[in-house]
């Protein structure tokens, strides 16, 4: 067994990130006790289990694994959000059933046989594509995150709001998104040189619409048909949605029905009244599309109490709307000292990256933080830095460092460090 005292990486018990990678660590003791005196069967090993089924469901013991909390504007059921339970998830893929939701007028029940995407405006040939036609196009598939630009808005409150990871940061998820590059469809239509923007419309009751610059559309935008290998879930835009890797979720219009090529943005309600960033000088920024570099420790986190002093894995997710995550640092002493976390194998651009560290919790009070850096050298800012220059009514694009306070009682709370 490794002597953990020999592997300190930073203050208050942070261990070298390789600790968990070393063979024999924690496993050594188990090997010594492998001899049982009498063989036994658990209740579920005594008879054949249930048979096959057409569609799987999580274990009945995982009933806590649900989106939370579900909130909608007063008097409505479809203008609100539900959040991904980050504190219970590992890896980087969010199960489709747990992908967060943000709708403005509910989830339309679309008949795919009657749904079309029509591209028009400043094009040589306006064309429409039905679902079957799009499914015949060459598909690209990438594992990428989607984040609502209102994610983590609770951190704007003057005093830390107590809640779990889902409640505080659950408007982010990652999926394998598959679909047709929009550049292929636009080339087929022939974009007029004056066409510098598009405006995309959804087929929901609010006909949600957003303008997107042509550069992004031609770079990596797709009309997504697939999420994690299956057709999109209705709550994620079935049968087709716009997906703009790394850009704020609201612009990734669900239930996509039209794309109009324009010479300038259409200035829709959701890119002026909402999803714009008001500064304290009264000036508001429009079109702040990419999501900033960000990370959050998902375990330990509020609601997952510590089980006594000892070795713990600190694990979480990091992402950047402009590229790959290069580095995640962890502190267990409120930011006085930092150590690099280990990154899981899949470090993909505009995706979630899973990080892990080993921590020897003394049982005393501690404040744990994570700080991400992306491949362009952008470093996740402090809460204070994010809030500087903002209006108190500015709600979007919060990417400050999250601090969790671990108490002597093992309970974990949201704090501002």
Partner 1 sequence: MSTLNITIAVALLVSISAAAQESPGLGRPVTAAEIEALDFTIQPDGDGLPDGSGTAMQGALVYQSHCLACHGPEGQEGVNDRLSGGHGSLTTSTPVKTVGSFWPYATTVFDYVRRAMPYQTPGVLSNDELYSVTAYLLFVNDIIEENAVMSAQTLPEVVMPNRDNFVWAYPPRD
Q: Is 329 helix (H, G, I), strand (E, B) or coil?
A: strand
Structure tokens at 280: 């304290």
Q: Does 385 bind partner 1 (CB under 8 A)?
A: no
Q: Does 138 bind partner 1 (CB under 8 A)?
A: yes
Nearer to partner 1, 169 or 257 (CB): 257
Tell which one of 18, 64, 97, 269 touches ligand HEC (CB under 6 A): 269
- Give 186's DSSP letter: H
Binding positions for partner 1, 105-124, rule CB under 8 A: 105, 118-121
In the complex, the smallest distance separating the C-beta of residue 223 from partner 1, rounded to whole angstroms, is 12
Q: Does 79 bind ligand HEC (CB under 6 A)?
A: yes
Nearer to ligand HEC, 264 or 273 (CB): 273
- Give 381's DSSP letter: P
Count of alpha carbons within 13 Å of 259, Cβ hemisphere only?
A: 37
Instruction: Please list the residues that pair with 122 across neighbouring strands.
Output: none
Q: Does 280 bind partner 1 (CB under 8 A)?
A: yes
User: Could you write out the DSSP letters of every residue in 50-96?
Assistant: ----SS----GGGTT-S-EEEEE-TT-SSSEEEE--GGG--SSPPPG
Distance from the Cα of residue 272 to its chain's centroid: 24
Size of the site for partner 1 (CB under 8 A): 64
Of 291, 355, 302, 3, nearest to 147 (Cα)? 291
Q: Does 75 bind ligand HEC (CB under 6 A)?
A: yes
The Cα 224–Cα 206 span in angstroms is 20
Tell which one of 192, 264, 305, 313 touches partner 1 (CB under 8 A): 264
Part in contact with ligand HEC (CB under 6 A); list of ranges 73-81, 151-159, 192-200, 350-358: 73-81
* Residue 219 contact, options partner 1, ligand HEC, none, Cβ 5-8 Å cut-off depending on partner type: none
From residue 405, give the alpha-carbon distance in Å to each of 8, 58, 127, 332, 335: 21, 31, 56, 9, 12
* Residue 266 contact, options partner 1, ligand HEC, none, Cβ 5-8 Å cut-off depending on partner type: partner 1
The Cα 71–Cα 81 span in angstroms is 6
Tell which one of 128, 273, 313, 336 touches ligand HEC (CB under 6 A): 273
Instruction: Note the residues at the interface with ligand HEC (CB under 6 A).
Output: 73, 75-76, 79, 104, 269, 273-274
Instruction: Note the residues at the interface with partner 1 (CB under 8 A).
Output: 73-76, 79, 104-105, 118-121, 125-130, 133-134, 136-138, 184-185, 187-190, 199, 201, 205-207, 209, 213, 215, 257-258, 260, 262, 264, 266-269, 272-273, 276-278, 280-290, 391-393
């Amino acid at each position: 067994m490794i002597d953990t005292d020999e592997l300190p990486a930073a203050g208050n018990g942070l261990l070298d990130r390789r600790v968990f990678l070393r063979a024999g660590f924690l496993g050594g003791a188990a090997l010594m006790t492998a001899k049982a005196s009498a063989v036994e069967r658990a209740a579920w090993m005594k008879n054949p289990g249930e048979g096959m089924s057409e569609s799987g469901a999580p274990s009945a013991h995982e009933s806590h694994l649900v989106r939370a909390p579900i909130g909608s504007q007063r008097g409505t059921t479809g203008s609100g959000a539900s959040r991904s339970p980050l504190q219970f998830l590992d890896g980087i893929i969010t199960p489709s059933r747990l992908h967060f939701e943000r709708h403005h007028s509910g989830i339309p029940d679309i008949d795919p046989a009657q749904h079309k995407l029509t591209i028009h405006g400043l094009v040589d040939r306006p064309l429409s594509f039905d679902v079957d036609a799009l499914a015949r196009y060459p598909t690209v598939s990438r594992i990428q995150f989607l984040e609502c630009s209102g994610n983590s808005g609770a951190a704007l409150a003057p005093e830390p709001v107590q809640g779990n990871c889902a409640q505080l940061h659950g408007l982010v998820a990652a999926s394998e998104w598959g679909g047709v590059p929009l550049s292929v469809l636009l080339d087929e239509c022939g974009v007029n040189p004056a066409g510098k923007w598009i405006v995309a419309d959804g087929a929901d009751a609010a006909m949600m619409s957003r303008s997107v610059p042509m550069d992004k559309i031609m770079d990596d935008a797709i009309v997504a048909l697939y999420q994690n290998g299956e057709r999109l879930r209705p709550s994620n835009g079935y049968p087709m949605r716009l997906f703009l890797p790394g850009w704020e979720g609201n612009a990734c219009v669900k239930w996509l029905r039209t794309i109009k090529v324009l010479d300038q943005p259409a200035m829709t309600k959701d890119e002026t009244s909402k999803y714009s960033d008001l500064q304290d000088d009264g000036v508001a920024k429009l079109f702040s599309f990419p999501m900033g570099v960000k990370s959050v420790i998902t375990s330990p986190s509020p609601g997952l109490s510590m089980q006594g002093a000892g070795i713990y894995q600190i694990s979480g997710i990091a992402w950047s709307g402009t590229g790959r995550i290069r580095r995640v640092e962890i502190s267990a002493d409120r930011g006085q000292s930092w150590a690099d976390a280990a990154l899981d194998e899949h470090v993909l651009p505009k995706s979630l990256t899973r990080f892990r560290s080993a921590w020897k919790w003394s049982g005393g009070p501690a404040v744990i933080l994570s700080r991400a850096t992306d491949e362009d050298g952008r470093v996740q800012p402090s809460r204070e830095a994010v809030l500087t220059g903002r209006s108190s009514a500015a709600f979007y694009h919060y990417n400050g460092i999250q601090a969790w306070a671990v108490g002597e009682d093992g309970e974990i709370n949201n704090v501002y460090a």
